[in-house]
Amino acid sequence: MDVIYRVKRDQIPLVVMMMDIDHFKAYNDNYGHQAGDECLRRIGDCLRRTVIRKGDFAARYGGEEFVLVLPNTDAHGAERIARRMIHVISEQKIVHDYSPTAKFMTVSIGIAYYPSTPDITPERVISDADAVMYRAKENGRNQFLIKTF
Q: What pLDDT is recorded for position 7?
A: 92
pTM here is: 0.94
Number of domains in the chain: 1
Terminal-to-terminal C-alpha distance of the chain: 19
Task: Report pLDDT for 1.
Answer: 62
Provide the CATH number for the domain around residue 29.
Answer: 3.30.70.270
Instruction: Look at 11-20, 24-33, 42-51 and tell me which has the smallest mean pLDDT.
Output: 42-51
Mean pLDDT of 85-109: 97
64 is catalytic: yes
Determine the average pLDDT of the residues in 17-36. Answer: 98
Q: Quote the domain boundaries for residue 119.
A: 2-148
pLDDT at 54 over 90: no
Quick check: helix, strand or coil at residue 59? strand
Looking only at the bridges linking them, the beta strands covering 14-21 and 57-60 are unpaired
Contact yes or no for 143/109 (Cβ under 8 A)? yes
Q: Which of 38, 64, 65, 123 is catalytic?
A: 64
